[in-house]
Amino acid sequence: MDLTLALVIGVVVVALVFDYTNGFHDAANAIATSVSTRALTPRAALFMAAAMNFIGAHLGTQVAQTVGKGIIDAPQGSHGLVIVASALIGAIVWNIITWYFGLPSSSSHALIGGLVGSALASSSLVHWDGVVEKVVIPMILSPLTGFMLGAGIMIAIYWIFRNAQPGKTNRGFRYAQTISAAAMALGHGLQDAQKTMGVIFLALVVGGYAGEQDPIPQWVILAAATAISLGTYAGGWRIMRTLGRRIIALDPPQGFAAESAAAIVLYGAAIGFGAPISTTHTITSAIMGVGSTKRLSAVRWGVAGNIVTAWVLTIPAAALVAALSYFALHWLIES
């Protein structure tokens, strides 16, 4: 087996490991609100989320094309594969750190940060126009949209059910949350599994096993869908507590509003713009928006501030780890 093929296989394995960590890191995105309101039991919610992640991963490749072609230009051969592997290592390390501390940071932005960091360390081309258009602008707009949409849906629910009995309304929304949580999980698969597909495709192109204009191979889609689904079923309990309880104590109508708002933003970004937005940012901001309609003090803004700090640090931190990984791998493999 030559070095290039070995590196391609290695990068694919590392990419699937990242996909798995993405699943257990972001499992809370889809189900924390439903579990916290007792609309679903934890295991039933995880199984549902895993299944919907798998289905969602098969619904498009626009985001994968953005990640695979629109962020960096890695050189052909073993050097380019070292760059891609370093990006993945940076993303995985940041995922594990934020998971350990229970912070719902963005796996998507960790991956983008890793790609940029390893490319800069290797003096490879970074498509800054693509980073700004497809990453930075959506990174700013998606939480704002999630916040406003969550607040808007919650206000509509308050108005529509203003004369309804609270107990009956809560029971009804517990059933409705099964649908909204499934929609959120489907959007997570549509967004996050595609990012891994894009990185694997980039490795195939760099290794000479695919052309830049080729479609994403079916085996790549299946592998990425399986890895993120297994990771989701493994669960991310630390982050689930943060999203489900520490930001605001949610009731079923609030959980439904937050999940619905986040799902709408995820579908719109993926299908309409091919933008790799953060499911974490989207659901967290939607929860904040929903909570703020009750009263601003209902949101634990100190916890929210810690989460925002993790958001800001994600891209530079993952980029730094990726750059250090590049120097280490470059010395080990290519020196």
Write out pLDDT tens, residues 149-202.
999 999 999 999 988 888 888 889 888 888 888 888 888 888 888 889 999 999
- Asked whether 27 and 46 are in contact (CB, 8 A), the reply is yes
Average pLDDT over residues 87-95: 90
Closest by CA position to 286, among listed 89, 151, 134: 151
Tell me: pLDDT of 6 over 60.
yes
Confidence of residue 334 (pLDDT cuts 50, 70, 90): low
pTM: 0.83
Average pLDDT over residues 64-78: 84
Higher-pLDDT residue of 42 and 137 is 137
Q: Which segments of 172-328 are extended strands (E)? A: none
pLDDT for the residue numbered 199: 92
pLDDT for the residue numbered 321: 93
Confidence of residue 244 (pLDDT cuts 50, 70, 90): very low
Confidence of residue 90 (pLDDT cuts 50, 70, 90): very high
Token digits of residue 162: 């203003």
Token digits of residue 194: 């595609």
Helix (H, G, I), strand (E, B) or coil at 89: helix
Q: How far apart are CA 106 and CA 112, in angstroms?
A: 10
Tell me: pLDDT of 243 over 60.
no
pLDDT for the residue numbered 67: 84
pLDDT for the residue numbered 36: 72
